[in-house]
Amino acid sequence: MFPELPDWELQALADDIKAKGLLHPIVLYKGKILDGRNRYKACKLAGVQPRFTEWKGKGSPLEWVVSENLVRRHLTSSQRAVLALDLLPLLEKEAARRQTLAKKLAKVGDNGKGKASQVAAKLTKTNSAYIEAVKHISKHAPELLGKVRSGVIKIPDATRLAKLPDKERKQVVAMLDGQPVSGSELHELSKRVHQNLRNRAAKAFARKATASSKDNNILIGSMDLLWDRLDDDSVDLFLTDPPYKDIQLYESLAELAAAKLKPGRLCLAYSGQFYLPEVMEAMSQHLVYWWTFAIEFSGSHCAIHPRHVQNKWKPIIAFAKPRAKPAPEWLSDHLQGGGRDKEYHDWGQDESEVEYLINHLTQPGELVVEPFCGGGTIPLVCRSTGRRWLATEIERSVALIARKRLAEAGKLR
Ligand SMILES: C[S@@+](CC[C@H](N)C(=O)[O-])C[C@H]1O[C@@H](n2cnc3c(N)ncnc32)[C@H](O)[C@@H]1O
Task: Read off the pLDDT band of 115 (50, 70, 90).
Answer: low
Which has the higher per-residue pLDDT, 113 or 205? 205
| Distance from Cα 5 to the centre of ligand 1, integer Å | 51
Across 290-319, b (16+ Cβ under 10 Å) vs e yields beebebebeeeeeeeeeeeeeeebbbbbbb
Q: Are strands 302-304 and 367-370 parallel, antiparallel or unpaired?
A: unpaired
Task: Read off the pLDDT band of 344 (50, 70, 90).
Answer: very high
Mutate to test the pocket of ligand 1, among 373, 378, 382, 401 (most ligand atoms within 8 A of CB): 373
Paired with 313 in beta bridges are: 296
Give the percent of the chain with pLDDT over 90: 62
Q: Is the omega angle on the peptide bond into residue 97 within 30 degrees of 0, that is, cis?
A: no
pLDDT value at residue 59: 79
Give pLDDT tens digits for 371-381.
999 999 999 99
Mean per-residue pLDDT of the chain: 89
| Distance from Cα 59 to the centre of ligand 1, integer Å | 66
Mutate to test the pocket of ligand 1, among 219, 225, 256, 393 (most ligand atoms within 8 A of CB): 393
Torsion of CA 352, 355, 357, 359, to 10 degrees: -140
Mutate to test the pocket of ligand 1, among 244, 250, 370, 372 (most ligand atoms within 8 A of CB): 372
pLDDT value at residue 312: 94
Least confident of 165-169, 198-202, 261-265: 198-202
| Distance from Cα 372 to the centre of ligand 1, integer Å | 4
pLDDT value at residue 168: 92
| Distance from Cα 230 to the centre of ligand 1, integer Å | 19
Instruction: Determine the average pLDDT of the residues in 355-379.
Output: 98
pLDDT value at residue 213: 59
Give pLDDT tens digits for 308-319.
999 999 999 999
> Which residues have any ligand 1 atom within 6 Å of their CB?
222-223, 241, 243, 249, 344-345, 347-349, 371-372, 374-375, 377, 392-395, 398
Q: Is the pLDDT of residue 113 over 60?
A: no
Q: Is the pLDDT of residue 139 over 70?
A: yes
Please give the angle made by the CA atoms of 370, 372 and 375, to the nearest 5 degrees.
95
pLDDT value at residue 319: 98
| Distance from Cα 243 to the centre of ligand 1, integer Å | 6
pTM listed for this prediction: 0.70
Task: Read off the pLDDT band of 109 (50, 70, 90).
Answer: very low
| Distance from Cα 241 to the centre of ligand 1, integer Å | 7
Torsion of CA 165, 170, 172, 178, to 10 degrees: 150
Distance CA 25, CA 48 (A): 12
Which has the higher per-residue pLDDT, 218 or 212? 218
Report the candidate in 342, 335, 336, 410 with the shortest Cα–Cα distance to residue 380: 410
pLDDT value at residue 384: 96
Give yes or no for a contact between 314 and 270, defined as CB atoms under 8 angstroms apart: yes
Give yes or no for a contact between 279 and 246, defined as CB atoms under 8 angstroms apart: no
pLDDT value at residue 99: 56
